[in-house]
Structure 1
Amino acid sequence: MSSIFTKIVHGEIPAYKVAENSQFLAFLDVNPNARGHVLCIPKKEINKIWDLEENHYRELMLFTRCVAIALEKTVPCKRVGMAVVGLEVPHVHVHLIPLNNMDGMNFSNSVEMSQEEFEKLAAEISENIEL
């Protein structure tokens, strides 16, 4: 059965995309820890990050770095935190979370955003992406 992220990749479920290339996709988390919380995923469905081929892993990290740099330019924060947890969805995903304190990495926190806020923020981050 396809993961929810695979369904996003195939366009079966909408997402607030911020960056995409032939191998990877970045989109806003719909249940964000902070404004600007982004998920970076490989388009190929792989359950665990350590199951990625070494080159694919490196390419994912390079893609994620580009997204993090754009995120830092777009959302005021002290830094962008990165986490790989993998318990929620059985599809590799890297969380990028704008942080001003350690509470931002607490996954039991979330912020509310309207559809218009998601759309505007996704467009703003996309403008700063340099892939």
Structure 2
Amino acid sequence: MSSIFSKIISGDIPAHKVAEDDEFLAFLDVSPLVMGHVLVIPKKEVDYIFDIEDETYAKLTLFAKKVAVGIKKAFPCKKVGVAVIGLEVPHAHIHLIPMNHVSDMNFAKEKLKPSQDDLAVAAAKIKAAL
């Protein structure tokens, strides 16, 4: 069940990583809803988030929480929204999105098209806040 996320984990595809440990990876969405939009994934390939073993699921949630705290510091906002959709890539992932308005979480709206430089700056801001 190899996916684009598996290729990011292996380093075959570059990504703007903001946090990583032995089990999880957090990186910027290259087509974000708003700047600071991060994807958090388990390194183990699992398609459906609720198929993840309980202990790993709990640790994934705690990892995402740490990243969300960094996002909120780096991109001041009212809250960091959390979404799990799971249809676009067959690898479990959590969207963390800085929000000031409900519309910031509207996945039907047109996505941003930031440059690689803009993404690098955003990633650096989040890493520094962590």
Matched residue, 1:63: 63
Give me the TM-score of the superposition, normalised by structure 2.
0.96
Give me the TM-score of the superposition, normalised by structure 1.
0.96
Question: Partners of 1:16 and 1:103 in 2: how far apart?
Answer: 25
Deviation string 1:41-85 (CA, Å, 9 cap, x unpaired) is 000110001100000000000000000000000002111000000
Residue 28 (1) aligns with residue 36 (2): no
Identity %: 53
Matched residue, 1:126: 127
Matched residue, 1:94: 94
Matched residue, 1:40: 40
Name the aligned partner's letter for residue 75 of structure 1: F
What displacement does 1:114 show?
Answer: 1.3
What displacement does 1:108 show?
Answer: 2.3
What displacement does 1:112 show?
Answer: 2.4
Question: Partners of 1:89 and 1:113 in 2: how far apart?
Answer: 21
Question: Partners of 1:92 and 1:112 in 2: how far apart?
Answer: 23
Deviation string 1:15-66 (CA, Å, 9 cap, x unpaired) is 0000000000000000100010000000011000110000000000000000
Name the aligned partner's letter for residue 106 of structure 2: N
Structure 2: any 5+ residue segments left out of the alignment? Answer: none
Residue 13 (1) aligns with residue 28 (2): no
Question: Partners of 1:3 and 1:111 in 2: how far apart?
Answer: 23
What displacement does 1:124 show?
Answer: 1.1
The runs of 4+ residues in structure 1 deviating greater than 6 Å are none
Question: Partners of 1:119 and 1:3 in 2: how far apart?
Answer: 23
RMSD across aligned positions (CA): 0.8
Question: Partners of 1:35 and 1:121 in 2: how far apart?
Answer: 7
What displacement does 1:118 show?
Answer: 0.3
Question: Partners of 1:3 and 1:69 in 2: how far apart?
Answer: 28
